[in-house]
């Protein structure tokens, strides 16, 4: 039987990595065979593309070029990591997936959404079984994200207005895909948030 495919989405610094790790640990504690992955990345080739898209000047790539790079990374991740794991009956938890492209490339700098959707159906064609969207105050999330000093701040460097647009993008996406998306209030302690997400185990 194919495994479950679960994604975490939300703006930068909203707690996706923290909560996806905790959810993976919870499922493992229940005996579920889980792989925890992330995008961009999750396979050797996709990790190399990650470096290209997340570092350097904010204007390094146009939104169109970025869309192609993220889609190339996702295709490699899907072929090499996600699909083999699901076929083997493992549960895949992924920190970001196609919804990030819909929101970041599709709805922030010009309206590229039609191109995002066309590329997705041509090259990816898979949706998660469950998507947990962590919604929170963009100002606080941005402070948290930048405080990490990860060196991967190209998107954080677009500023607060950009993060606000993203937040609304994720909320409207949740309305478009009500069967698989749940919105979780991220303006709480990590324990409170994890407790609510545990209901989806
Ligand atoms: P994301 O993956 O969405 O960018 P992270 O999980 O990396 O977010 O969290 C960003 C930062 O905020 C990290 O330093 C993390 O330890 C911290 N953090 C995560 N969740 C919370 C929370 N609920 N309250 C306060 N700080 C948090
Ligand atoms: P991530 O490492 O999850 O960043 P953060 O921890 O700050 O949330 O993701 C890296 C950045 O890449 C993030 O700013 C969102 C962006 N991104 C896109 O623009 N499009 C995409 O398709 C994906 C997967 C990520």
What pLDDT does 151 receive? 77
Atom number, ligand 2, closest to the C-alpha of residue 70: 22
What pLDDT does 157 receive? 76
* Residue list, ligand 2 pocket, CB within 6 Å: 12-13, 16-17, 39-40, 54, 70, 95-96, 100-101, 104-105, 145, 155
Give residue 108's domain range: 5-200
Compute CA distances 180 → 58, 113, 114, 133, 176, whole Å. Answer: 32, 20, 21, 10, 10
CA-closest residue to ligand 2 atom 22: 101
Confidence of residue 30 (pLDDT cuts 50, 70, 90): very high
Compute CA distances 151 → 63, 74, 116, 142, 154, whole Å. Answer: 20, 22, 27, 14, 8
| Mean pLDDT, the chain, integer | 94
Strand order in the sheet with 5-10: 34-38, 91-95, 5-10, 130-135, 181-185
Ligand 2 centre from 97 Cα, in Å? 9
Test site for ligand 2: of 7, 8, 9, 12, most ligand atoms within 8 A of the Cβ: 12
What pLDDT does 181 receive? 98
Q: For the segment 151-179, what is each residue's pLDDT rounded down to a tens digit?
A: 777 777 778 899 999 999 999 999 999 99
CATH number of the domain bearing residue 129:
3.40.50.300
Ligand 1 centre from 10 Cα, in Å? 11
What pLDDT does 156 receive? 74
In sequence order, the 6+-apart residues with CB closer than 8 A to the CB of 170 are 9, 10, 11, 99, 103, 133, 135
Give me the count of residues in the chain.
201
Q: What number is the average pLDDT over the span 4-28?
A: 97
Confidence of residue 22 (pLDDT cuts 50, 70, 90): very high
Q: What number is the average pLDDT over the span 179-193?
A: 98
For the chain, give the percent of residues with pLDDT over 90.
Answer: 83
What pLDDT does 144 receive? 86
What pLDDT does 177 receive? 97
Q: Two tokens at 160?
A: 């607060």
pLDDT at 8 > cutoff 80? yes
Q: Is the dihedral of CA 36, 42, 44, 47 positive or negative?
A: negative
| DSSP H or E stretch at residue 94 | strand 91-95
Q: Are strands 34-38 and 130-135 parallel, antiparallel or unpaired?
A: unpaired
Q: Two tokens at 88?
A: 């083997």
In the chain, how many domains are there? Answer: 1
Q: For the segment 92-128, what is each residue's pLDDT rounded down to a tens digit?
A: 999 999 999 999 999 877 789 999 999 999 999 999 9
Ligand 1 centre from 193 Cα, in Å? 11
Token look-up 């996706």 returns: 16
Are 196 and 184 within 8 A, CB to CB? yes
Q: For the segment 123-144, what is each residue's pLDDT rounded down to a tens digit?
A: 999 999 999 999 999 999 988 8
């Amino acid at each position: 039987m194919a495994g479950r495919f679960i994604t975490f989405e939300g703006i930068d610094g909203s707690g996706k990595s923290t909560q996806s790790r905790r959810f993976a640990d919870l499922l493992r504690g229940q005996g579920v065979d889980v792989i925890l992955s992330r995008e961009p990345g999750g396979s050797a080739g996709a990790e190399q593309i990650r470096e290209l898209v997340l570092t350097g000047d904010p204007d390094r790539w146009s939104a169109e070029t970025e869309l192609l790079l993220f889609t190339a990374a996702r295709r490699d991740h899907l072929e090499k990591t996600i699909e083999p794991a699901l076929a083997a009956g493992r549960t895949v938890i992924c920190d970001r997936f196609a919804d990030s492209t819909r929101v970041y490339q599709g709805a922030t700098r010009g309206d590229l959404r039609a191109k995002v959707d066309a590329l997705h159906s041509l090259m990816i064609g898979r949706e998660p079984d469950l998507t947990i969207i962590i919604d929170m105050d963009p100002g606080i999330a941005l402070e948290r994200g930048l405080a990490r000093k990860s060196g991967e701040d190209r998107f954080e460097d677009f500023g607060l207005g950009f993060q606000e647009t993203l937040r609304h993008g994720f909320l409207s996406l949740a309305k478009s895909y009500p069967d698989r998306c749940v919105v979780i209030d991220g303006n709480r302690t990590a324990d409170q948030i994890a407790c609510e997400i545990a209901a989806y185990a």
